Amino acid sequence: MSQKILEGIRVLDLTNVLSGPFTTLHLALLGAEVVKVENPKDGDLARKLGILPDLNQKLMGTSFLAQNCNKLSITLNTKSAEGKALFRRLVKDADVVVENFRPGVMDRLGLGYKSLAEINPRLIYCAISGFGQTGPDALKPAYDQIIQGLSGEMALNGDQRLHPLRAGFPVCDTVGGLNAAFAVMAALFHRERTGEGQFIDVALLDSIMPLMGWMAANLLIGGEQPALMGNDNFTAAPSGTFRTQDGHINIAANKQEQWESVCDVLELPSLKVDPRFQERDTRKNNRKVLTPLLEARLTQNTTGFWVEALNAKNVPSGEILELEAALRQPQVQHRQVLRKVQVEGVGEVEVFGLTAQFEKTPGTVDTPPPTLGEHNQLIFGALGLSESEQAELKLKGVI
């Protein structure tokens, strides 16, 4: 088997719930040794967050299973003097530390970046928080929905009937996690060239806002406030969601030739020469008139029929799938987006693998999410702690 990109890189993962674990999942899938450092009582809060109560009680909730494959787990009370000392020993040989506490927490523990960099100058330290380490809102609590609201993302969603509207999944947490993983990889590359470690400050609010770049550009450069478009695409028409005989279809006729092909496929040639629809910007301004004309024809046949007919004419179109159907569609199965892993006490579960497909250094799901403290003996034993010393520390609540 080929060497993995991050083979030999050790990551100490102090993160909880979503943004941080999503970061370290990607590092783990790329081959890094990710050691989850969890509190001895109940570990990562995600262990108790899930739809199945029995798994929550086992501290293996579905939320935890979703993003902790390929990781090791140790328990460590970093508030205790002995716990701090053990963590510093782990840092000496670590490459990366990732945490998503509120700003200042690690400094108060005496485990902030400056303190750890004295032990290991090559250390890359990534701090993920809602608002970043500095600024007027830095110390405010933040969850995904709070960031969705403050970023403007919720204000862009929906239409006049349903507004504001939250995205149906924790988009800010996950995008923040991807941003942090990208930043860690960049810092590792910089260290390869210079030998220098560094501190990385990732804010969920910062991370999500550039994703609205086109909308922001229209406002900042064009002076145009965003309009509530619902399922319509502001860049073109017809481009959005339309009713069919048995449901709905997405059509994205973003080019003039695609618009003309829509008219051909729907057998509506008169629309091509209608002055309300001939030119792109005029067509966009008249989309409310255009949509019913298209739907009158689209509702005469099924979504599947129209998808095949439109795609055959190079007009991007697709079904709107429920989540289960989306996960089971042939293309997703072909790309092996989901991987199966056997979890002791749970059974076989499906999780997401690395979706970037590397030709020479593929990312793989190798081991299931760890039970709490599963690797204490492995990691602490490697530090030179005997079984009796570990047992004593466990009695004290240190591990």
| Ramachandran assignment for 125, one of left (phi > 0), alpha (psi -120 to 50 degrees), beta (any other) | beta
Whether residue 379 contacts residue 35, with contact meaning beta carbons closer than 8 Å, is answered with: yes
- Separation in Å, CA 93 to CA 82, 89, 122, 227, 247: 18, 8, 10, 52, 57
Catalytic pick among 13, 173, 201, 232: 173
The helix or strand, by DSSP H or E, that contains position 273, with its residue range, turns out to be helix 270-273
Sign of CA dihedral 306, 307, 313, 315: positive
How far apart (Å, rounded) are the C-alpha atoms in residues 153 and 145?
A: 10
How far apart (Å, rounded) are the C-alpha atoms in residues 37 and 76?
A: 6
How far apart (Å, rounded) are the C-alpha atoms in residues 164 and 152?
A: 10
Sign of CA dihedral 149, 155, 161, 165: negative
Geometric angle at alpha carbon 124, from 120 and 125, rounded to 5°: 100
Listed residue (245, 241, 243) closest to 253, CA to CA = 241
173 is catalytic: yes
Question: Starting from the edge strand earliest in sequence, which strands make up the sheet with 248-252, in order?
Answer: 239-243, 248-252, 317-319
Let me know if 113 is exposed, middle or buried by CB neighbors in 10 A (0-12, 13-18, 19+): buried
- The residues carrying an active-site annotation are 173
